[in-house]
Protein backbone atom coordinates (compact mmCIF):
# COMPACT_ATOMS: atom_id res chain seq x y z
CA UNK A 1 0.00 0.00 0.00
CA UNK A 2 1.31 3.43 -0.89
CA UNK A 3 2.21 5.90 1.87
CA UNK A 4 1.47 9.60 2.27
CA UNK A 5 2.64 11.67 5.22
CA UNK A 6 0.78 14.65 6.64
CA UNK A 7 2.75 16.91 8.98
CA UNK A 8 0.67 19.15 11.22
CA UNK A 9 2.45 22.46 11.61
CA UNK A 10 -0.24 25.11 11.88
CA UNK A 11 0.29 25.86 15.56
CA UNK A 12 1.42 29.34 16.56
CA UNK A 13 3.85 28.33 19.26
CA UNK A 14 3.09 31.30 21.50
CA UNK A 15 5.16 29.85 24.33
CA UNK A 16 8.33 30.10 22.26
CA UNK A 17 8.07 33.89 22.66
CA UNK A 18 9.86 34.26 19.37
CA UNK A 19 9.27 35.99 16.06
CA UNK A 20 10.32 32.74 14.40
CA UNK A 21 7.46 30.24 13.84
CA UNK A 22 7.75 27.30 16.21
CA UNK A 23 8.54 24.71 13.54
CA UNK A 24 11.41 26.92 12.34
CA UNK A 25 13.15 26.84 15.72
CA UNK A 26 16.46 25.01 15.31
CA UNK A 27 17.39 21.68 16.82
CA UNK A 28 20.92 20.54 15.96
CA UNK A 29 20.99 23.67 13.75
CA UNK A 30 18.08 22.55 11.53
CA UNK A 31 14.45 23.69 11.84
CA UNK A 32 12.25 21.30 13.84
CA UNK A 33 10.16 20.79 10.71
CA UNK A 34 13.24 19.77 8.69
CA UNK A 35 13.77 16.81 11.04
CA UNK A 36 10.19 15.65 10.53
CA UNK A 37 10.34 16.08 6.75
CA UNK A 38 13.59 14.09 6.69
CA UNK A 39 11.90 11.24 8.59
CA UNK A 40 8.97 11.31 6.14
CA UNK A 41 11.34 11.08 3.19
CA UNK A 42 13.30 8.22 4.72
CA UNK A 43 10.00 6.34 4.95
CA UNK A 44 9.57 6.81 1.22
CA UNK A 45 7.07 9.69 1.15
CA UNK A 46 7.82 11.54 -2.07
CA UNK A 47 5.78 14.66 -1.35
CA UNK A 48 5.12 15.06 2.38
CA UNK A 49 2.10 17.29 3.02
CA UNK A 50 2.62 20.18 5.42
CA UNK A 51 -0.44 21.73 7.03
CA UNK A 52 0.61 25.27 7.84
CA UNK A 53 -1.02 28.31 9.34
CA UNK A 54 0.86 30.85 11.43
CA UNK A 55 4.06 32.21 9.90
CA UNK A 56 3.42 30.22 6.75
CA UNK A 57 5.43 32.49 4.45
CA UNK A 58 8.61 32.13 6.45
CA UNK A 59 8.14 28.37 6.67
CA UNK A 60 7.43 27.96 2.96
CA UNK A 61 10.41 30.13 2.01
CA UNK A 62 12.72 28.06 4.16
CA UNK A 63 11.69 24.90 2.31
CA UNK A 64 11.29 26.46 -1.15
CA UNK A 65 12.28 24.13 -3.96
CA UNK A 66 11.62 20.97 -1.97
CA UNK A 67 9.06 18.38 -3.03
CA UNK A 68 6.31 19.21 -0.54
CA UNK A 69 2.59 19.86 -0.73
CA UNK A 70 1.50 22.86 1.32
CA UNK A 71 -2.01 23.00 2.71
CA UNK A 72 -3.24 26.11 4.51
CA UNK A 73 -5.26 25.72 7.65
CA UNK A 74 -6.27 29.35 8.04
CA UNK A 75 -8.19 28.85 11.24
CA UNK A 76 -7.17 26.24 13.76
CA UNK A 77 -10.16 24.19 14.68
CA UNK A 78 -8.35 21.15 16.01
CA UNK A 79 -6.15 18.30 14.88
CA UNK A 80 -9.05 16.56 13.10
CA UNK A 81 -9.79 19.75 11.16
CA UNK A 82 -6.09 20.08 10.27
CA UNK A 83 -6.14 16.66 8.56
CA UNK A 84 -9.52 17.46 7.00
CA UNK A 85 -8.03 20.41 5.10
CA UNK A 86 -5.44 18.01 3.68
CA UNK A 87 -8.08 15.58 2.34
CA UNK A 88 -8.01 17.04 -1.21
CA UNK A 89 -4.36 16.00 -1.59
CA UNK A 90 -4.86 12.54 -0.08
CA UNK A 91 -5.26 9.72 -2.62
CA UNK A 92 -8.49 7.66 -2.41
CA UNK A 93 -6.48 4.57 -1.48
CA UNK A 94 -3.22 3.87 0.34
CA UNK A 95 -2.42 4.90 3.90
CA UNK A 96 -1.46 8.12 5.57
CA UNK A 97 0.91 8.69 8.45
CA UNK A 98 0.22 11.76 10.58
CA UNK A 99 3.22 13.50 12.12
CA UNK A 100 3.77 16.79 13.96
CA UNK A 101 6.10 19.61 13.01
CA UNK A 102 7.01 20.12 16.65
CA UNK A 103 7.84 16.47 17.43
CA UNK A 104 11.24 16.41 15.75
CA UNK A 105 13.01 13.31 17.01
CA UNK A 106 10.56 10.60 16.03
CA UNK A 107 12.59 7.68 14.69
CA UNK A 108 12.13 6.02 11.36
CA UNK A 109 12.27 2.58 13.01
CA UNK A 110 9.32 3.38 15.27
CA UNK A 111 7.33 4.85 12.39
CA UNK A 112 8.04 1.84 10.22
CA UNK A 113 6.58 -0.42 12.92
CA UNK A 114 3.52 1.81 13.06
CA UNK A 115 3.07 1.69 9.27
CA UNK A 116 3.51 -2.08 9.32
CA UNK A 117 0.59 -2.22 11.77
CA UNK A 118 -1.63 -1.00 8.93
CA UNK A 119 -1.29 -3.74 6.31
CA UNK A 120 -4.72 -3.22 4.73
CA UNK A 121 -7.66 -0.82 4.57
CA UNK A 122 -9.29 -2.46 7.55
CA UNK A 123 -6.71 -1.57 10.18
CA UNK A 124 -5.42 1.47 12.05
CA UNK A 125 -2.11 2.06 13.84
CA UNK A 126 -1.71 4.32 16.86
CA UNK A 127 1.52 5.30 18.59
CA UNK A 128 1.04 5.31 22.35
CA UNK A 129 3.38 5.67 25.29
CA UNK A 130 3.17 4.98 29.01
CA UNK A 131 4.02 8.10 31.00
CA UNK A 132 4.41 8.33 34.78
CA UNK A 133 2.81 11.79 34.55
CA UNK A 134 0.13 11.61 31.84
CA UNK A 135 -1.45 14.99 32.58
CA UNK A 136 -2.30 16.99 29.48
CA UNK A 137 -2.28 14.02 27.14
CA UNK A 138 -5.16 12.20 25.55
CA UNK A 139 -5.62 8.87 27.37
CA UNK A 140 -5.93 5.51 25.69
CA UNK A 141 -9.11 3.79 26.80
CA UNK A 142 -8.93 0.01 26.49
CA UNK A 143 -11.64 -2.60 26.88
CA UNK A 144 -10.51 -6.17 27.54
CA UNK A 145 -7.06 -5.05 26.42
CA UNK A 146 -8.21 -3.60 23.11
CA UNK A 147 -7.89 0.09 22.29
CA UNK A 148 -11.43 1.44 21.94
CA UNK A 149 -11.15 5.23 22.07
CA UNK A 150 -9.08 8.21 23.17
CA UNK A 151 -10.31 10.68 25.73
CA UNK A 152 -8.69 14.12 25.98
CA UNK A 153 -7.54 15.33 29.39
CA UNK A 154 -10.20 18.05 29.39
CA UNK A 155 -12.98 15.57 28.62
CA UNK A 156 -11.75 12.76 30.87
CA UNK A 157 -13.53 11.47 33.95
CA UNK A 158 -11.55 11.13 37.18
CA UNK A 159 -11.03 7.43 36.59
CA UNK A 160 -9.96 8.00 32.97
CA UNK A 161 -7.43 10.55 34.22
CA UNK A 162 -5.66 7.76 36.11
CA UNK A 163 -4.82 6.00 32.83
CA UNK A 164 -1.10 6.32 32.11
CA UNK A 165 -1.13 5.09 28.51
CA UNK A 166 -1.05 8.28 26.46
CA UNK A 167 -1.72 9.30 22.89
CA UNK A 168 1.42 10.58 21.16
CA UNK A 169 -0.81 12.02 18.42
CA UNK A 170 1.04 10.05 15.75
CA UNK A 171 -1.10 7.56 13.86
CA UNK A 172 -1.38 5.73 10.56
CA UNK A 173 -4.76 5.45 8.87
CA UNK A 174 -5.94 4.02 5.54
CA UNK A 175 -6.88 6.92 3.23
CA UNK A 176 -10.24 5.32 2.55
CA UNK A 177 -11.15 5.68 6.23
CA UNK A 178 -9.88 9.29 6.40
CA UNK A 179 -12.08 10.23 3.44
CA UNK A 180 -15.05 8.45 4.97
CA UNK A 181 -14.71 9.53 8.59
CA UNK A 182 -13.03 12.96 8.81
CA UNK A 183 -16.01 14.86 7.29
CA UNK A 184 -18.18 13.26 9.97
CA UNK A 185 -16.13 14.56 12.94
CA UNK A 186 -18.05 16.64 15.46
CA UNK A 187 -16.71 19.31 17.80
CA UNK A 188 -18.97 18.53 20.71
CA UNK A 189 -16.29 18.41 23.39
CA UNK A 190 -14.77 20.52 26.14
CA UNK A 191 -12.55 22.48 23.70
CA UNK A 192 -15.08 22.83 20.84
CA UNK A 193 -12.45 21.35 18.51
CA UNK A 194 -12.51 18.70 15.81
CA UNK A 195 -10.42 15.98 17.43
CA UNK A 196 -8.38 13.66 15.25
CA UNK A 197 -8.44 11.30 18.20
CA UNK A 198 -12.15 10.65 17.62
CA UNK A 199 -11.07 8.43 14.70
CA UNK A 200 -10.24 5.74 17.24
CA UNK A 201 -13.79 5.61 18.59
CA UNK A 202 -15.09 5.55 15.02
CA UNK A 203 -12.80 2.61 14.21
CA UNK A 204 -14.19 0.75 17.20
CA UNK A 205 -17.80 1.34 16.16
CA UNK A 206 -17.00 0.18 12.60
CA UNK A 207 -15.18 -2.92 13.84
CA UNK A 208 -11.79 -1.75 12.52
CA UNK A 209 -9.07 -3.06 14.84
CA UNK A 210 -6.62 -0.49 16.28
CA UNK A 211 -3.06 -1.64 16.88
CA UNK A 212 -1.11 0.31 19.49
CA UNK A 213 2.61 0.58 18.77
CA UNK A 214 5.14 2.02 21.24
CA UNK A 215 8.27 4.07 20.53
CA UNK A 216 11.69 2.76 21.60
CA UNK A 217 12.25 5.79 23.81
CA UNK A 218 9.97 8.46 25.26
CA UNK A 219 12.00 11.38 23.87
CA UNK A 220 11.14 10.33 20.33
CA UNK A 221 7.57 11.45 20.85
CA UNK A 222 8.24 14.54 22.92
CA UNK A 223 6.96 17.81 21.53
CA UNK A 224 8.56 21.22 21.80
CA UNK A 225 6.51 24.11 23.11
CA UNK A 226 9.03 26.46 24.69
CA UNK A 227 12.76 27.19 24.72
CA UNK A 228 13.31 25.04 27.78
CA UNK A 229 11.85 21.97 26.08
CA UNK A 230 13.84 22.86 22.97
CA UNK A 231 17.10 22.91 24.92
CA UNK A 232 16.19 19.73 26.79
CA UNK A 233 15.50 17.88 23.56
CA UNK A 234 18.67 19.29 21.99
CA UNK A 235 20.70 17.73 24.83
CA UNK A 236 18.84 14.43 24.51
CA UNK A 237 19.57 14.37 20.79
CA UNK A 238 23.24 15.29 21.26
CA UNK A 239 23.64 12.57 23.86
CA UNK A 240 22.02 10.08 21.49
CA UNK A 241 24.33 11.04 18.64
CA UNK A 242 27.39 10.83 20.90
CA UNK A 243 26.27 7.34 21.95
CA UNK A 244 25.88 6.28 18.33
CA UNK A 245 29.39 7.55 17.54
CA UNK A 246 30.85 5.75 20.55
CA UNK A 247 29.10 2.50 19.58
CA UNK A 248 30.60 2.93 16.13
CA UNK A 249 34.09 3.11 17.66
CA UNK A 250 34.70 6.83 18.03
CA UNK A 251 36.43 7.86 21.26
CA UNK A 252 34.39 10.71 22.69
CA UNK A 253 36.26 12.09 25.68
CA UNK A 254 33.15 13.72 27.12
CA UNK A 255 29.84 12.74 25.50
CA UNK A 256 28.15 15.63 27.32
CA UNK A 257 30.42 18.11 25.56
CA UNK A 258 30.10 17.13 21.92
CA UNK A 259 27.65 18.71 19.48
CA UNK A 260 26.81 17.07 16.19
CA UNK A 261 24.80 19.34 13.93
CA UNK A 262 24.92 17.37 10.74
CA UNK A 263 26.07 14.06 9.37
CA UNK A 264 29.37 12.54 10.32
CA UNK A 265 31.17 9.72 8.62
CA UNK A 266 34.31 8.39 10.18
CA UNK A 267 36.99 5.74 10.08
CA UNK A 268 38.42 3.78 12.98
CA UNK A 269 39.97 5.18 16.15
CA UNK A 270 38.80 8.73 15.70
CA UNK A 271 39.10 10.77 18.89
CA UNK A 272 37.01 13.82 19.76
CA UNK A 273 37.99 15.93 22.75
CA UNK A 274 35.66 18.07 24.86
CA UNK A 275 33.77 20.95 23.30
CA UNK A 276 34.00 19.80 19.71
CA UNK A 277 31.22 20.97 17.34
CA UNK A 278 30.71 19.10 14.07
CA UNK A 279 28.43 20.76 11.54
CA UNK A 280 27.09 19.86 8.12
CA UNK A 281 28.82 16.98 6.34
CA UNK A 282 32.00 16.05 8.15
CA UNK A 283 34.22 13.17 7.03
CA UNK A 284 36.94 12.02 9.43
CA UNK A 285 39.50 9.43 8.34
CA UNK A 286 41.08 6.72 10.50
CA UNK A 287 42.96 7.95 13.56
CA UNK A 288 41.89 11.57 13.18
CA UNK A 289 42.14 13.42 16.47
CA UNK A 290 40.15 16.57 17.06
CA UNK A 291 41.26 18.69 20.00
CA UNK A 292 39.21 20.58 22.54
CA UNK A 293 36.99 23.39 21.34
CA UNK A 294 37.34 22.76 17.60
CA UNK A 295 34.52 23.59 15.18
CA UNK A 296 34.52 21.50 12.00
CA UNK A 297 31.97 22.29 9.31
CA UNK A 298 31.48 20.66 5.91
CA UNK A 299 34.99 19.29 5.72
CA UNK A 300 37.03 16.21 5.05
CA UNK A 301 39.98 15.34 7.26
CA UNK A 302 42.40 12.65 6.12
CA UNK A 303 43.64 9.68 8.12
CA UNK A 304 46.09 10.35 10.91
CA UNK A 305 45.61 14.10 10.92
CA UNK A 306 45.43 15.99 14.16
CA UNK A 307 43.31 19.10 14.52
CA UNK A 308 44.67 20.73 17.64
CA UNK A 309 42.56 22.69 20.14
CA UNK A 310 40.47 25.72 19.23
CA UNK A 311 40.77 25.43 15.49
CA UNK A 312 38.01 26.29 13.00
CA UNK A 313 37.66 24.36 9.77
CA UNK A 314 34.96 25.42 7.32
CA UNK A 315 34.39 23.93 3.87
CA UNK A 316 37.95 22.69 3.62
CA UNK A 317 39.72 19.48 2.71
CA UNK A 318 42.74 18.35 4.73
CA UNK A 319 44.89 15.39 3.70
CA UNK A 320 46.36 12.67 5.88
CA UNK A 321 48.95 12.99 8.66
CA UNK A 322 48.59 16.75 8.73
CA UNK A 323 48.90 18.95 11.81
CA UNK A 324 46.42 21.78 12.12
CA UNK A 325 46.32 24.28 14.97
CA UNK A 326 46.09 25.05 17.79
CA UNK A 327 44.12 28.21 16.95
CA UNK A 328 44.10 27.66 13.19
CA UNK A 329 41.37 28.88 10.86
CA UNK A 330 40.80 27.04 7.59
CA UNK A 331 38.22 28.93 5.56
CA UNK A 332 36.22 27.81 2.51
CA UNK A 333 38.23 26.53 -0.41
CA UNK A 334 41.27 25.49 1.61
CA UNK A 335 42.72 22.28 0.17
CA UNK A 336 45.66 21.02 2.14
CA UNK A 337 47.59 17.96 1.01
CA UNK A 338 49.04 15.23 3.20
CA UNK A 339 51.49 16.20 5.93
CA UNK A 340 50.76 19.92 5.76
CA UNK A 341 51.41 21.78 9.00
CA UNK A 342 49.30 24.79 9.91
CA UNK A 343 50.16 26.35 13.23
CA UNK A 344 48.67 28.90 15.58
CA UNK A 345 46.96 32.00 14.25
CA UNK A 346 47.27 30.92 10.65
CA UNK A 347 44.31 31.61 8.36
CA UNK A 348 43.88 30.02 4.96
CA UNK A 349 41.18 30.83 2.37
CA UNK A 350 40.80 29.46 -1.16
CA UNK A 351 44.31 28.15 -0.82
CA UNK A 352 45.87 24.93 -2.03
CA UNK A 353 48.93 23.63 -0.23
CA UNK A 354 51.09 20.80 -1.51
CA UNK A 355 52.42 17.81 0.39
CA UNK A 356 54.44 18.72 3.45
CA UNK A 357 54.02 22.51 3.09
CA UNK A 358 54.21 24.38 6.40
CA UNK A 359 52.88 27.64 7.79
CA UNK A 360 53.55 27.28 11.46
CA UNK A 361 52.84 30.69 12.92
CA UNK A 362 50.80 33.86 12.36
CA UNK A 363 50.04 33.99 8.64
CA UNK A 364 47.26 34.81 6.20
CA UNK A 365 47.24 32.72 3.05
CA UNK A 366 44.40 33.68 0.73
CA UNK A 367 43.75 32.86 -2.94
CA UNK A 368 47.06 31.09 -3.20
CA UNK A 369 48.63 28.01 -4.66
CA UNK A 370 51.46 26.79 -2.53
CA UNK A 371 53.70 23.95 -3.70
CA UNK A 372 55.00 20.91 -1.89
CA UNK A 373 57.42 21.35 1.02
CA UNK A 374 57.13 25.15 0.94
CA UNK A 375 57.91 26.85 4.24
CA UNK A 376 55.94 29.99 5.00
CA UNK A 377 57.71 32.14 7.59
CA UNK A 378 55.93 33.51 10.63
CA UNK A 379 53.94 36.66 10.03
CA UNK A 380 53.68 36.24 6.27
CA UNK A 381 50.65 37.72 4.54
CA UNK A 382 49.40 37.21 1.01
CA UNK A 383 48.15 40.66 0.04
CA UNK A 384 45.37 39.24 -2.12
CA UNK A 385 43.09 42.28 -2.14
CA UNK A 386 43.99 45.56 -3.82
CA UNK A 387 40.93 47.33 -2.52
CA UNK A 388 38.86 46.37 -5.55
CA UNK A 389 39.77 42.88 -6.73
CA UNK A 390 41.26 39.67 -5.39
CA UNK A 391 44.48 38.33 -6.93
CA UNK A 392 46.42 35.11 -6.77
CA UNK A 393 49.73 34.21 -5.18
CA UNK A 394 51.58 31.20 -6.62
CA UNK A 395 54.52 29.66 -4.79
CA UNK A 396 56.53 26.83 -6.37
CA UNK A 397 57.65 23.62 -4.68
CA UNK A 398 60.41 23.85 -2.06
CA UNK A 399 60.33 27.64 -1.89
CA UNK A 400 61.22 29.23 1.44
CA UNK A 401 59.33 32.38 2.35
CA UNK A 402 61.12 34.34 5.04
CA UNK A 403 59.54 35.70 8.16
CA UNK A 404 57.12 38.59 7.94
CA UNK A 405 56.83 38.78 4.17
CA UNK A 406 54.12 40.67 2.33
CA UNK A 407 53.40 38.87 -0.93
CA UNK A 408 51.62 41.45 -3.07
CA UNK A 409 49.37 39.56 -5.46
CA UNK A 410 49.26 38.86 -8.31
CA UNK A 411 52.72 37.47 -7.76
CA UNK A 412 54.54 34.21 -8.25
CA UNK A 413 57.58 32.80 -6.55
CA UNK A 414 59.51 30.13 -8.41
CA UNK A 415 60.33 26.66 -7.17
CA UNK A 416 63.18 26.52 -4.68
CA UNK A 417 63.37 30.32 -4.36
CA UNK A 418 64.02 32.00 -1.03
CA UNK A 419 62.75 35.38 0.12
CA UNK A 420 64.47 37.36 2.84
CA UNK A 421 62.81 38.12 6.14
CA UNK A 422 60.71 41.27 6.12
CA UNK A 423 60.48 41.41 2.33
CA UNK A 424 57.61 43.00 0.46
CA UNK A 425 57.50 40.89 -2.69
CA UNK A 426 55.61 42.71 -5.41
CA UNK A 427 57.41 41.29 -8.48
CA UNK A 428 57.68 37.67 -9.58
CA UNK A 429 60.67 35.80 -8.17
CA UNK A 430 62.44 33.34 -10.51
CA UNK A 431 63.08 29.76 -9.40
CA UNK A 432 66.05 29.04 -7.22
CA UNK A 433 67.12 32.63 -6.39
CA UNK A 434 67.18 34.65 -3.20
CA UNK A 435 64.97 37.75 -3.33
CA UNK A 436 65.32 40.41 -0.68
CA UNK A 437 63.03 43.40 -0.77
CA UNK A 438 63.50 45.55 2.28
CA UNK A 439 65.33 48.74 3.26
CA UNK A 440 69.08 48.40 3.77
CA UNK A 441 70.07 48.67 7.42
CA UNK A 442 71.56 52.01 8.38
CA UNK A 443 73.82 52.77 11.31
CA UNK A 444 73.44 56.24 12.85
CA UNK A 445 76.37 57.08 15.08
CA UNK A 446 75.91 59.36 18.05
CA UNK A 447 72.14 59.09 18.03
CA UNK A 448 70.59 59.82 21.43
CA UNK A 449 67.46 58.26 22.82
CA UNK A 450 64.89 60.83 23.90
CA UNK A 451 65.03 61.55 27.65
CA UNK A 452 62.10 61.94 29.97
CA UNK A 453 61.34 65.63 30.67
CA UNK A 454 61.56 66.21 34.45
CA UNK A 455 58.19 67.07 36.06
CA UNK A 456 57.80 70.71 37.05
Residues with a known catalytic role: 361
Among the listed residues 79, 96, 368, 418, the single contact to ligand UD1 using CB under 6 A: 79
- Pick the stretch among 8-16, 205-213, 252-260, 388-396 that binds ligand UD1 (CB under 6 A): 8-16
Residue 74 CB, nearest approach to ligand UD1 (Å): 10
Secondary structure letter of residue 159 according to DSSP: H
Quick check: 77 binds ligand UD1 (CB under 6 A)? yes
Binding region for ligand UD1 (CB under 6 A) out of 2-10, 251-259, 283-291, 313-321: 2-10
Choices 190-198, 241-249, 280-288, 318-326; region in contact with ligand UD1 by CB under 6 A: 190-198
The residue among 74 and 180 lying less far from ligand UD1, judged by its C-beta, is 74
Q: Is 150 in the site for ligand UD1 (CB under 6 A)?
A: yes
223 binds ligand UD1 (CB under 6 A): yes
**Least distance between ligand UD1 and beta carbon 371 (Å):** 57
Which long-range CB contacts under 8 A does 228-237 form with residues at least 24 apart?
230/16, 230/25, 230/27, 233/27, 233/104, 233/105, 234/27, 234/28, 236/105, 237/27, 237/28, 237/105
With binding defined as CB under 6 A, does residue 81 bind ligand UD1? yes
Residues 6+ away with beta carbon under 8 Å from 316: 299, 300, 330, 331, 332, 333, 334, 335, 336, 348
Question: What sign does the CA torsion over 212, 218, 222, 226 have?
Answer: positive
Cβ-in-10-Å burial (0-12, 13-18, 19+) of 399 comes to buried
CB 14 to ligand UD1: min, Å: 11
Taking a C-beta distance cutoff of 8 angstroms, is the pair 420, 429 a contact? no
Q: Does 169 bind ligand UD1 (CB under 6 A)?
A: yes
Question: Could you give the 3-state DSSP secondary structure of residue 150?
Answer: strand
Q: Which is nearer to ligand UD1, 78 or 285 (CB)?
A: 78
**H helix or E strand, kind and range, residue 203:** helix 198-205
Our finding on whether 8 is near ligand UD1 (CB under 6 A) is yes
Q: Is 137 one of the binding residues for ligand UD1 (CB under 6 A)?
A: yes
Residue whose CB is less far from ligand UD1, 78 or 396:
78
The yes or no reply on residue 40 touching ligand UD1 (CB under 6 A) is no
Ordered DSSP codes for 220-263:
GG----SHHHHHHHHHHHHHHHHHHHHHTT-EES-GGGEEEEEE
Between 169 and 275, whose beta carbon lies closer to ligand UD1? 169
User: 237-256: which residues touch ligand UD1 (CB under 6 A)?
Assistant: none
Is 195 a binding residue for ligand UD1 by CB under 6 A? The answer is: yes
- Give the chain's count of helices (H) and strands (E): 8, 36
With contact defined as beta carbons under 8 Å apart, do 329 and 312 qualify?
yes
Q: How many amino acids of this chain bind ligand UD1 (CB under 6 A)?
A: 27
Please give the residue ranges that form the binding site for ligand UD1 (CB under 6 A): 8-11, 51, 73, 76-79, 81-82, 100-102, 137-138, 150, 152, 166-169, 195-197, 223
Amino acid sequence: MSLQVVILAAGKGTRMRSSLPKVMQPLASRPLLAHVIAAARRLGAERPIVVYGHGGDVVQQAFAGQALDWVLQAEQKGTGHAVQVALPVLAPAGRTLILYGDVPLISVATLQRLIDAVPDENSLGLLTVHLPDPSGYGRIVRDHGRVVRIVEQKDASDSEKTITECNTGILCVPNRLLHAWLPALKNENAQGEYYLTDLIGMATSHGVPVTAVHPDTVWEVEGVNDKLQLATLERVWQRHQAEQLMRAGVTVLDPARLDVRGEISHGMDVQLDAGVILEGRVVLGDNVRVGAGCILKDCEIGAGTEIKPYSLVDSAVVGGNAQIGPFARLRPGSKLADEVHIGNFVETKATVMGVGAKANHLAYLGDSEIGARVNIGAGTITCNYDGANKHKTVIGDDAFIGTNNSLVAPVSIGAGATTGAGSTISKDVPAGVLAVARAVQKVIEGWQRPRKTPKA
